[in-house]
Amino acid sequence: MHDLLTPTTGNQNFIDPVHPEIETYLLSLAEQTDHPVLLQMESYARQNGFPIVGRLVGIFLEAQARMINARRVFEFGSGYGYSAYWFARAVGEGGQVICADGNPQNQEPARQYLTNVNLWERIDFQIGFAQDIFMQTKGDFDICYNDADKGGYPDIWLMSKSRIRPGGLYIADNVLWHGRVVLAPGSFVDVKPGWTEAIREHNHLIFNDPEFDAFINPTRDGVIVARRKMA
Ligand SMILES: C[S@@+](CC[C@H](N)C(=O)[O-])C[C@H]1O[C@@H](n2cnc3c(N)ncnc32)[C@H](O)[C@@H]1O
């Protein structure tokens, strides 16, 4: 899946963390995860220029969730349910993925696609500002997953970290931001002013938090996984 977030800045300095031929090879290995509905969801992204995490990150999200027996996941920025597809598979029957998205037009495609794979009953899809929905939602989570607007990344980390159970995970997508995180300030045009700085601050906060162990998987645009240490 090509990154659909790559901006139209004309700046050619962006760095693809994964060489395209390696990505093609990885995708060829992942073909066993093909499902007609998943293929439809990926086609929808291509047709609409919608920035989903893509197949390789999706597989990674499901594996992470299964490894910690996640049953309750909160998503900041769910789009039309592509990343939730993978989490919903992992949480199993009776598990729950709370989806939060600010665009009401995403809810109906999410409902249709995830109903067609019998996963909708595991989804609580809420429309609104994800940070507000999170604060209004009670309880702790096995995973807090952040794929919202990048300017909000530090705040989302700070509000999430205390509500992840020991052994649970904070995961965020786009933490390499197409290589902008290593470019000198002023040498590129950001998607929105301040987003690269926000991502850099976010990553710094996480790696310097003594309560978490962190790692960045450089697949696609970089996925950070931070595990809350056991007490
Ligand atoms: C990158 S897309 C998410 C894609 C999704 N995670 C996936 O891979 O299938 C970002 C989505 O987050 C929503 N969004 C961004 N910031 C948000 C916020 N603060 N609150 C709610 N929704 C937000 C946008 O409407 C958009 O649908």
User: Is 8 a residue whose pLDDT tops 90?
Assistant: no
154 lines ligand 1 (CB under 6 A): no
48 lines ligand 1 (CB under 6 A): no
Reported as a pLDDT band with limits 50, 70 and 90, residue 3 is very low
Q: Give all domains of the chain, ordered by start, each with its CATH number.
A: 36-228 (3.40.50.150)
Reported as a pLDDT band with limits 50, 70 and 90, residue 186 is confident
Q: What is the DSSP string of 26-84?
A: HHHHGGGG--HHHHHHHHHHHHHT-----HHHHHHHHHHHHHTT--EEEEE--TTSHHH
23 lines ligand 1 (CB under 6 A): no
User: Is 10 a residue whose pLDDT tops 50?
Assistant: no
226 lines ligand 1 (CB under 6 A): no
Q: What is the mean predicted confidence (pLDDT) over 25-49?
A: 97
Ligand 1 nearest atom to the CA of residue 81, by list position: 9
pLDDT tens by residue, 65-120: 999 999 999 999 999 999 999 999 999 999 999 999 999 999 999 999 999 999 99
% residues pLDDT > 70 (the chain): 94
User: Is 2 a residue whose pLDDT tops 50?
Assistant: no
ipTM comes to 0.99
Residue with tokens 């963390």: 17
